[in-house]
Structure 1
Amino acid sequence: RATRVTDRMMVAAARAVGRCAARSATDGSRPAPLLPPLRDMRAAAREIALAAAVAAVEDGVAPRASEEDLRAAVARSQWSPRYDGSSR
């Protein structure tokens, strides 16, 4: 975990949001949206978190880790809804 949020982390996260959003406008017939589509939000959140984590390591505010290790840590920490099927 990072000890603080740096400018580079914020920029990396913002650029990742832009990349995720731009991928949804593949035909070029209209401008890319500002945010990724809701259907892609979980994958986008992982990509954004990874970008911020890599920047944190580069800035020295998080322990050294490989991108592969960071990717695994992001995946482990992402919340997943689980329902037991019982009704209230």
Structure 2
Amino acid sequence: RRIIIPSSLRRALPAYSNEVIMSMHATALASTVTIVEITGAASYFNSTYFEPFIAYSAAALLYLILNTLLVVGFRQIEKKYLLHLKYLHGVA
């Protein structure tokens, strides 16, 4: 037997994926995070080696990769669990 995801979770999945992505963006802007995150590491690299373009370009690339992975992952999950809605709305 397989466990079927409840319909309420299926309907909440797109909103949840947006929240995860927005929280990812918000952590990049938050300066009060206590752990060293990507922006903090870029700032440290810049202050040590005085290479701001390399440091912040690498940080931007990492954020782009992380966000792309999140978007692609949630798209795959939505495609799998929301397949029935495609046929419900007459789009075949």
Global fold match (TM > 0.5)? no
TM-score of the superposed pair, with normalisation by structure 1: 0.37
Q: Kindly indicate which of the two structures has a greater share of residues assigned to helix.
A: 2
Bigger-Rg structure (1/2) = 2
